[in-house]
Amino acid sequence: MGRAVWIVVGWLMIPLGIGLAVVQAVPGEPPGVAGIAPPAAEAQAPAAQAQAPATAVLAGEGADAGPSGVELPEEWRRAIDQVVIPREVLDRLPELAAIQQKLMRVDGVLMSGTDHRNGKVFVGVRSLEARERVEAAIAREGIPPEWVEIFGGAGLLSEERPLEGCQLADPPRPEPGPQYLEVTPAVVRPGQGISLVIRGVPEDQLMRGVEAYLECWDGEGWSPRFYLITAYGGGGPHSVLYGGPLVIVDLGLFGTGPERHLVPDQLEPGWYRIRKPLGRTRFVPAEVVGYLQVR
C-alpha cells in the first residue's frame, strides 16, 4: 500500500465562539443576548473592565493567558476580547460540560462541543437513528431541549435502510477516460474485499487519502452512501455509513495503489460507483471514479 504519514481523522466544524478560554459578560446586555463591543468603545474598555466584576477568566492566570496560563499573542487576545458571553450562560457552563459528556457516549455521535456564547451544546450525529438516540437521551436525562442543537451531514441516512432512494438496475456508467479508478474484482458479493488502483496518473506525482466514497444512482445524480476506509494505523479496512463530507488532515498514502477495501455487508444486488478524491495538480485530477457490480 506504500508509505503513510500520520493524521487526525474526523469532522471539522468549529462554530464561532466555541471553546474560547477567556470570555466577558458585559454589563447592560439583555439577558441571554450576545453582543460585540463597538469600535468606539475600545478606548473605554480598560476602565469598563475595572468596574465590571462580571468579567470572567475561565483558564490561565489572567486576561492575557491561554488555557495553560501561557500568554497569548496580541492578535489572539484582541479576537478573544470581542466575544461576549451573557452572565446566565457563564453560570451554567458546568452543566453544559456535563451534558456534552453524557451525549458523547450515545451510539452514533461523531463529535460534540459547547457554544459558550449562546449557551448550547452542539452534537454531530452520523444517522437518523443516532439523532433519535440523542433525542431520547435528552428526554431521559431531563436536559432542556433548547440547550442542545443536533446537526449532521446533508440528508442523514438510515442505518437500517442505507440504500433507500437508490436505483441500482441500470445507472449511467460512462466509458473510462485516460485517468480512472480500476476496481478489482469488478463483480463481488456483499462483504467481499476489493482492490483500487489509480490508472493514468504518474506513480511519483500522487499522494492520496485513505478514504473513498461508495455511491449509488438516485435518479438524478450519484449519492454517497458509505465511506470506504483502507487499512492504516494498525486497523483493517472497513466501511462507515456516509454522514457528510469527511475531513482527514495530514494523512496520505503515496503512489497509485493497490488500495484494499471491504464492500459493505448492507449492499443489495446492482451497480455502484466508487469515487476517489485526489489532490489536483498538473498531472493529477481532482478525483477518479470506477464502477462495481454486486450480485
Angle (nearest 5°) at CA 51 between 49 and 54? 70
Report yes or no: 256 and 147 within 8 Å, Cβ to Cβ.
Answer: no
Query: Which one is predicted more confidently, 55 or 134?
Result: 134
Tens-digit pLDDT profile for residues 84-95: 777 777 888 888
Question: What pLDDT does 20 receive?
Answer: 30
H helix or E strand, kind and range, residue 87: helix 87-91
Query: Which one is predicted more confidently, 241 or 61?
Result: 241
Report yes or no: 275 and 227 within 8 Å, Cβ to Cβ.
Answer: no
Q: What is the pTM of this model?
A: 0.64
Tens-digit pLDDT profile for residues 251-269: 677 778 898 999 999 999 9
Question: What pLDDT does 251 receive?
Answer: 62
Distance (Å, whole) CA 252 – CA 288: 16
Query: Which one is predicted more confidently, 67 or 108?
Result: 108
CA 197 to chain centre: 27
Report yes or no: 182 and 190 within 8 Å, Cβ to Cβ.
Answer: no
Phi–psi pair at 141, nearest 5 degrees: -90, -5
Burial class (CB in 10 A: 0-12, 13-18, 19+), 122: buried
Helices and strands (DSSP H and E) totals, the chain: 5, 18
Nearest in space to 100 (alpha carbons), one of 119, 120, 121, 118: 121
Q: How many CB atoms lie within 10 A of CB 253?
A: 19
Distance (Å, whole) CA 44 – CA 1: 61
Tens-digit pLDDT profile for residues 200-225: 887 776 777 888 999 999 999 999 99
Query: Parallel, antiparallel, or unpaired: how do β-strands 109-115 and 120-125 relate?
Result: antiparallel
SS3 state at 157 = coil
Mean pLDDT of the chain: 73
- The mean per-residue pLDDT over the stretch 160-188 comes to 91
Distance (Å, whole) CA 98 – CA 102: 6
Nearest in space to 250 (alpha carbons), one of 19, 1, 13, 12: 12
| Lowest mean pLDDT across 26-30, 107-111, 152-156, 206-210 | 26-30
CA 35 to chain centre: 28
Burial class (CB in 10 A: 0-12, 13-18, 19+), 81: middle
Report yes or no: 144 and 121 within 8 Å, Cβ to Cβ.
Answer: no
Q: Which residue has the cell 438524478?
A: 220
Question: What pLDDT does 281 receive?
Answer: 63
Q: What is the torsional sign of CA 254, 258, 262, 267?
A: positive
